[in-house]
Amino acid sequence: MWRFSSLTRGTSCLLPFRKAPALRHFSVFLVRHGPVWPPVRASPACLHLPRITVLLSFCRSFKKNAKSTLDFPVTPITVTDIKQYLRSKEIPFHDGFSCLHAPSFFLEHTGAQGGSEAAGRDGFTLFIDKTTGQFLCKETLVEGSWEDLQDCVEVMQKEGCSYLSPDVLLGYPESPEEQEVKEMELREVQRIWSASVSFSDLPDEEAQLVKTMFRMDSISNATLKRFGVRFFKPTKSLVFPWFGGRDSGLRGLKLLTASCDKDGAVSYADATLPRPSAYHNLFGLPLVGRKDSEVVLTGRETDALAVSQATGLPCLTLPRGVSSLPPVLLPYLEQFKRVTLWLGGDINSWEASKIFSRKLGLKRCSLVRPGEQQPCPSEALESGRSLSRILKASISAAHKSIVSFRQLRDDVYGELANREQVAGVKWGRFPELNKILKGHRKGELTVFTGPTGSGKTTFISECALDLCVQGVNTLWGSFEINNVRLAKIMLTQFSMQRLEDDLEQYDAWADKFEDLPLYFMTFHGQQNLKTVLDTMHHAAYLYDISHVVIDNLQFMMGQENQSVDKFAIQDHMIGAFRKFATHSSCHVTLIIHPRKEEDDKDLQTASIFGTAKASQEADNVLILQEKKLVTVPGRRSLQVAKNRFDGDVGVFPLEFNKSSLTFSAPLKAKNKLRKVKGDKPDAPESEEKPAKVEKAEKVEKPAKVEKVEKAEKVEKPAKVEKVEKAEKPARATKTPKAEKGMPSRRQGSLRPCVLQSHVHWELHCSVGASRSRGANTCPCRQMAIFRFKPRLIFHSTV
Ligand SMILES: Nc1ncnc2c1ncn2[C@@H]1O[C@H](COP(=O)(O)OP(=O)(O)OP(=O)(O)O)[C@@H](O)[C@H]1O
């Protein structure tokens, strides 16, 4: 498959982390995310065509422009624009579910300018995404942006031809370094694949053992063979292949590895080659027939095996499970009139299936609601349930404007039965925040304020990073500081160390950071609300963003608006972000400066700049309190002043670590959590009384604040120093080197395990020994580390 790497209009306002750093790293980005292999270059035959050279030079100059316009907002394309353009060029098309279908002008017999009606509906092989204009020719696998498509049409018209060679568009030329990385990855894919064995070649006993390990005892060898699943002995991993491209060759792999923790609990982790952002495999696609009109979408490959074996229905697995449905896959799903989403057996899968069904077209989608009787497909198969019956009971995704409780009762039950999941994603670095807010939930609006220069950006950056590491797809709108500075802060917080002191470590940390689902809007300073919202919508569509951070509202509004009714403008903006959060099932964190307050007074909800709209619309109000001290930096604490989810509010101290720029609370501080209004921190939820929000507002009365102030008075400079000495550095301040039992630096550099779910560290030593135990054992002594190539390390239980 060939990919044209210029950016689409909407995405020109978005920047993944990969593009932020220096050119050297930008080039690495292109290798990993640009044209996917096998590289398709302009064939010599194509270059001999004199007419085509016009397009080649045009495209090159266009790309140059695209790069330089990266920072400028552009109007997003709409489906009406696309249709109008196609009509104006007399290109026939018809409406699909998420794409427009048109005849491909990369195929000689169905040129856009002629005879496509004769080709009939099935002859329309060019798919144009209705939201982005991105196109794919399913026959030739040429794909590109809406601008590329217009370029092609313009050139065809100019040159009077009705057909273009599939090789006509060129991507960026690759540097030798890029080619080398790509070839190395491909070699690695081939090496692992050829060293893997099919299940029918494994001794029966071993095959059964492996199946048990991956909880797929009921999956037959025949099913595994049909899907091409193999077993890779050195890491005890299941290998799921990705076949595709014009030659249907092997393009990548996903490895699923099982490991046991100290308590014997089995956990699973997967790794892909190429890395996840370039891994666009709809697992099971080669088995789908052209005439199939029904499909089941699953979140895991083993689930696809279960559904296919039990029902015989075509079944596909989304490459990134419940975390996102990349629009680049949508053309491959256009042929299905009915799509059943059975992404797993928990609330997260349910939420994701509702979001994905909007992209796929609500009318054709039905969803399997998770529940005791409807676990994920592989579990359903193992427990002897009828998968066909579960699929039959799936419910339509189409929205109903008026519902009765009867339609809601299962949803209500789901919320009650899955309290922890409904509470949202828990912070790893801020347990106090979990205690008060319970978690980070989609669809909410958080307003965050704090005195000027108190560390709002620094704190929110760590908070958002914490979630992002756990798979929360995050979009940053930093209107105050530029993206390079912001990325630097986040990378420092991610690595928990001063990287400027150890630049050798930069690439290792940057490689891991690159894999986070983190994107930046390229805006800086004042920005038009519509442009920002368009970009947010676009990002939500492209990357399934579930957390947007706006830092900050005042900078986004700019000074120009200050002369008009600035409060009304701010209220309008807050209302728009609220609406976005609700409609897009996305959490929006809005940083708003406070009004000018007296230095010695704590901020309150009423201190947020503007009218009461901000605190009324917000689900959560967080205040970074700063106690101004003369001789040393003031102590910070975080106050949760509003919590619509369950009403709990409170305040806890923050300890700032200057070298890692982290605020993660020191261990002792955990005991210092104060629940305002006498809430017992550890009281069971059932004991908590309603109307907590009201309570929250009450604490902001002067009398209460005074009380808090009294408590803070003990923090005289001398004492603060003492406390700081007594409180051992929190987890946040520990670098890998500080871990007990770590091998020495001489043995190699240490990094957190590549598979996020592991708590172990990986040892990164110089050259690729095939396997070495002992010295290369994780400090926890649980894992042996096997090394395959400089960047990729697999773990396996000893
Ligand atoms: N608790 C702290 N103690 C000392 N320095 C801090 C603390 N928190 C942040 N800083 C430092 O203060 C500087 C300003 O921090 P930051 O930009 O996060 O503040 P801010 O509240 O977002 O500022 P602004 O009001 O301008 O938006 C940074 O250099 C940061 O490293």
Atom of ligand 1 nearest to the CA of 459: 18
Report CA Rg, the chain.
28
Tell me the pTM.
0.67
In tens, the pLDDT along 329-342 reads 999 999 999 999 99
Does ligand 1 lie within 6 Å of residue 635's CB atom?
no
pLDDT band at 695; cut points 50, 70, 90: very low
Share of the chain above pLDDT 70, in %: 68
Mean pLDDT to the nearest integer, 430-450: 94
Give the pLDDT of residue 231.
95
**Least confident segment among 105-119, 139-153, 300-314, 316-330:** 105-119
Mean pLDDT to the nearest integer, 437-456: 93
> At residue 265, does pLDDT exceed 50?
yes
> What's the CA-to-centroid distance between 482 and ligand 1, angstroms?
15
Does ligand 1 lie within 6 Å of residue 456's CB atom?
yes
Token pair for residue 177? 């370094």
Does ligand 1 lie within 6 Å of residue 636's CB atom?
yes
* Mutation to probe ligand 1, out of 456, 458, 476, 489 (largest number of atoms < 8 A from CB): 458
Give the pLDDT of residue 306.
96
Which class for 405: exposed (0-12), middle (13-18), buried (19 or more C-beta within 10 A)? Answer: exposed
Residue 601 backbone dihedrals phi, psi, to 5 degrees: -105, 140
Mean pLDDT to the nearest integer, 729-752: 36
Write out the H or E segment, with its range, that includes residue 376: none
Give the pLDDT of residue 519.
92
Write out the H or E segment, with its range, that includes residue 779: none
Alpha-carbon distances, residue 193 vs 35, 239, 276, 694, 754 (angstroms) = 22, 8, 18, 61, 21
Does ligand 1 lie within 6 Å of residue 633's CB atom?
yes
Which has the closest alpha carbon to 261: 774, 751, 795? Answer: 795
Helices 483-495 & 506-514 angle (0-180, nearest 10): 100
Token pair for residue 756? 């996020």
Does ligand 1 lie within 6 Å of residue 101's CB atom?
no
> What's the CA-to-centroid distance between 521 and ligand 1, angstroms?
21
Which class for 608: exposed (0-12), middle (13-18), buried (19 or more C-beta within 10 A)? Answer: buried
| Closest C-alpha to ligand 1, atom 16 | 455
> What's the CA-to-centroid distance between 452 and ligand 1, angstroms?
8
Ranges 63-72, 578-587, 654-663, most confident: 578-587
Token pair 């989304």 is found at 318
pLDDT band at 610; cut points 50, 70, 90: confident
Separation between Cα atoms, residue 232 and residue 241, nearest integer Å:
12
Looking at 584-716, list the stretches that DSSP marks H as alpha helix, in order from N- to C-terminal side: 613-617, 692-698, 702-712
| Closest C-alpha to ligand 1, atom 30 | 455
pLDDT band at 472; cut points 50, 70, 90: very high
In tens, the pLDDT along 271-293 reads 998 888 889 999 999 999 988 99
Residues of the chain with CATH 3.40.50.300: 431-681+688-726
Mean pLDDT to the nearest integer, 590-618: 82
- 210 Cβ neighbours under 8 A, 6+ residues apart: 199, 202, 231, 236, 238
Mean pLDDT to the nearest integer, 688-706: 36
ipTM: 0.95
Higher pLDDT, 498 or 55: 498
In tens, the pLDDT along 64-102 reads 233 322 333 455 788 999 999 999 988 999 999 999 999
> With contact defined as beta carbons under 8 Å apart, do 285 and 332 qualify?
yes
Give the pLDDT of residue 443.
93
Higher pLDDT, 333 or 27: 333
Does ligand 1 lie within 6 Å of residue 480's CB atom?
yes
Separation between Cα atoms, residue 339 and residue 337, nearest integer Å:
7
Going edge to edge, which strands form the sheet with 249-260? 197-198, 230-232, 237-244, 249-260, 266-273
Token pair 């601008």 is found at 147
CATH of domain 431-681+688-726: 3.40.50.300
> At residue 701, does pLDDT exceed 90?
no
Which has the closest alpha carbon to 17: 494, 610, 573, 435? Answer: 494
> At residue 723, does pLDDT exceed 90?
no
Looking at 169-300, list the stretches that DSSP marks H as alpha helix, in order from N- to C-terminal side: 176-195, 204-213, 221-226
The angle formed by the CA atoms of residues 294, 299 and 304, to the nearest 5 degrees, is 55
Give the pLDDT of residue 17.
58
Residues of the chain with CATH 3.40.1360.10: 282-422
> What's the CA-to-centroid distance between 660 and ligand 1, angstroms?
13
In tens, the pLDDT along 364-380 reads 999 998 877 789 999 99
Does ligand 1 lie within 6 Å of residue 638's CB atom?
no
> What's the CA-to-centroid distance between 320 and ligand 1, angstroms?
36
- CATH 3.30.1490.100 applies to domain 282-422: no
Separation between Cα atoms, residue 292 and residue 506, nearest integer Å:
49
Does ligand 1 lie within 6 Å of residue 594's CB atom?
no
Token pair for residue 134? 């991105």
Higher pLDDT, 546 or 682: 546
In tens, the pLDDT along 106-117 reads 887 644 444 443
Alpha-carbon distances, residue 795 vs 147, 252, 531, 757, 787 (angstroms) = 44, 20, 45, 12, 9
Give the pLDDT of residue 43.
33
